Every structure is written in C-alpha cells, then in structure tokens.
Amino acid sequence: MKPIYIFLIFVLLVLAQIYIPAKMILDQEAIIKTGTAYKFKTRPVDPSDPFKGKYIHLNYDITSVLSNDSTWTNYEPIYIALKTDTLGFAMVETVSRDVPESGDYVKAQVDWYNTYEKKINFSFPFDEFYMNELKAYNAELAYLKAQQDSLPNNTYALVYILNGNGVLDNVFINDIPIAKYVEKQE
C-alpha cells in the first residue's frame, strides 16, 4: 500500500475515535438541556457492595408495577410512562411493550415477572452515579446515613427524560448535591 493510503486510513481511525465518544456526550447533554427533569426516590443501597469502582449504585423506590399480563420475560424491553406525585417525585403511570404515544417515558428492562404477586420487576438504565474517587467513600457513608434518617424523601436522584432515554444528572441528600453535601460534612 502507498503511504498516502495508510495515512488516510490512520486519519479516518483517529476521527472515528473522536467522533463516537463526542456524539455520546453530546446526546447526553441534549437530553439534559431539552428533557424533562424527574426526581426518583432512592432506597438504601446494598451494604455489602454499594460501590464498584468510583460510582454509587442507586436503588429506586419504583422498581415494580402490578400487571395481570404474565407473558413478560426476563430482559425484555419495557416502556415506563412517568408522572409525578404531589411531592414532585416520579411515579409509574403505565407500562407497555410499545412506545407510549404521548408523555414522558423511559425504556427499561424487565428483570422478572413475579407470578405470585403479579408484578413486573424492572431496572432503570440510570442506576450508577459516578463521582470523584476521593469523595466516593465519604459519599457512600453520607448516603447510607441519610437513608437511615427519619426524614422521608431526603435522598433522590435527578434524572432528565427525553424520548425514552434517561440521564442521571445528580444525587441529592436533603436537596443538596451529594458532592457538596460531602464537602460540608468534612
């Protein structure tokens, strides 16, 4: 091969390596700028392994919904139409195998169908919150302590939703972003 062709192939590879991550970042930023913000109540994390690396694994209050349709299968896509409760937190309005015609929705995945309770258990694709590794352990402790607090609704995740996609923007403790909350505790 001629050196010019090798150089052109190299340039194309470099451009592809820049374009793909840049597109992913820009898509996420577009959701944050134009999507609808929802507050998702969180539950205590699994104390045996709340961190894997430099992120907090979030458990949400809404992880199941009643359904008499027992044909749901594991890992099947599910569309969750959202609404807010009187306190402004996200709630499941409906679930479907098809994209809802109107309103905000999230594409998630069925974990399993509980035939005894007639519930669809699902997981959201935005259950990991990455943060500075130096603050991660202190954030874990603050998050667990806040979960044990008697105040309801004191920990939540702010997620922007647009066309079935969700972007986790931040995690809050007592309406303070978790990184700032940890700094105040130090």
Coil/strand/helix, residue 140: helix
Based on the domain organization, do 119 and 166 belong to the same domain? yes
pLDDT of residue 46: 44
**Number of structural domains in the chain:** 2
- pLDDT tens-place string over residues 111-142: 999 999 999 999 999 988 877 777 777 777 77
Mean pLDDT of 151-169: 87
Based on the domain organization, do 104 and 18 belong to the same domain? no
- pLDDT tens-place string over residues 77-118: 999 999 999 988 999 999 999 999 989 999 999 999 999 999
Based on the domain organization, do 40 and 30 belong to the same domain? no
Cβ neighbours for 54, distance < 8 A, ≥ 6 positions apart: 130, 131, 132, 133, 136
pLDDT of residue 150: 60
Is the model's pLDDT at 47 over the cut of 80?
Answer: no
Q: Are 62 and 83 in contact (CB under 8 A)?
A: no
Based on the domain organization, do 28 and 54 belong to the same domain? no
Based on the domain organization, do 18 and 108 belong to the same domain? no
Handedness of CA 16, 20, 23, 29 (dihedral sign): negative
- pLDDT tens-place string over residues 9-43: 999 999 999 999 899 888 888 888 988 888 988 87
Kindly state the DSSP code that residue 149 receives in the 8-state scheme.
Answer: S
Alpha carbon distances (Å) from 110 to 99, 126, 168, 174: 15, 14, 20, 31
Based on the domain organization, do 51 and 135 belong to the same domain? yes
How many residues appear in the chain? 186
Based on the domain organization, do 24 and 114 belong to the same domain? no
Containing domain of residue 1, as a range? 1-34
